[in-house]
Amino acid sequence: MDQSDDAVARPAPLEMSRHFTAPRALVFEAWSTAEHMKRWFCPEGLTVPEAEVDFRPGGACVICMRMPDGPDFWSRGHYIEIVPPERLVFVSDVFIEEVRRFRAHTTVTFAEADGGTRLAVRQVYEIFDPAWAHAPQGASEGWRTTLDKLEREVARIRAASEHAVAHATFTLERHFRASPAALFHALTDPAAKARWFGGGDGYTMLERDIDVRPGGRERAKGRWANGTVSTFDATYFDVVSNVRLVYAYEMHLDDRRISVSLATVQIRADDGGARLTITEQGAFLDTYEDGGSREQGTRFLLERLAASVEN
């Protein structure tokens, strides 16, 4: 093999480092489970829909990185060395469209520095497909944005350990081609609410109960297509027929309580129909990241409510 061939087979190693204002045990923890790795182990713009982490020497390390408009990148490898919280070594073969393109041998060290942690990454490459010999050229930028995401995950882990709470408030209004009485009926009658209050396609209702009166309870539990079970548990505090509902509810995903919210629903006659205004004040627990999904989900339910009362 001549020198040029060897340069293709063995690109220059990548070396970079980042300082984290967190103890190295905390930074090390972010590498230790599939749940953590799915949140950060990919460059900006990509996601990790699947991961398998068997965090022990010889254990599997399998990561699927998904591009928004391209093929999945599968990193299939295993751990070689794990020394908490100092050192981590693993090797991975990268598959694109089920073809092995290159191998990355990664060494990560965690050192105490300046009251935090100095993380250093060294990655050595072996190219199997010459068409992908350019891939390591983008590794430095890819790792830069990946470590940006790692910083956010470390902050999330720290906040969770401190039982942090994030607050969010939104207000939505909508006109309905229905009377205030018909709208109130759809919000409070068990059979009428069952026609619209649910997750739509890919959602299976497992349990439903509703008793709308001061002190009454409502519960809706269902399974999503990915297997996650969500549970809505509400208590009503104020009920004024055809005018107002005030209730508090908590949401669970599987066995985890993710939020507690106060909701106010107001109804008034408006232009031959009714106008509904809903305001929610939510407390999201232990760093659960809502990302606006509660507001989006409420908009979705209002669309279903409109289809139910206007048809």
- Give pLDDT, residue 276: 98
Which among 139, 161, 183 is the end of a domain?
Answer: 161
CATH of the domain at 86: 3.30.530.20
- Give pLDDT, residue 7: 41
Token readout for 103 is 């191998």
State the residue range of the domain holding 303.
Answer: 165-310
Q: Of 203, 206, 181, 204, give the one whose Cα is nearest residue 192.
A: 181
- Give pLDDT, residue 289: 73
Distance (Å, whole) CA 251 – CA 258:
6
Beta bridge partners of 31: none
Asked whether residue 156 falls in the same domain as residue 10, the answer is yes
Asked whether residue 16 falls in the same domain as residue 132, the answer is yes
Which among 144, 161, 178 is the end of a domain?
Answer: 161
State which residues of the chain have pLDDT below 70: 1-9, 287
User: What total number of domains does the chain contain?
Assistant: 2
Asked whether residue 150 falls in the same domain as residue 176, the answer is no
Asked whether residue 104 falls in the same domain as residue 178, the answer is no
Q: Of 146, 122, 150, give the one whose Cα is nearest residue 20.
A: 150
| Residues in Cβ contact with 109 at an 8 Å cutoff, skipping those fewer than 6 apart | 86, 87, 88, 119, 120
pLDDT tens digit sequence for 258-304: 999 999 999 999 999 999 999 999 999 876 777 788 999 999 999 99
* C-alpha torsion 253→257→261→263, nearest 10: 40
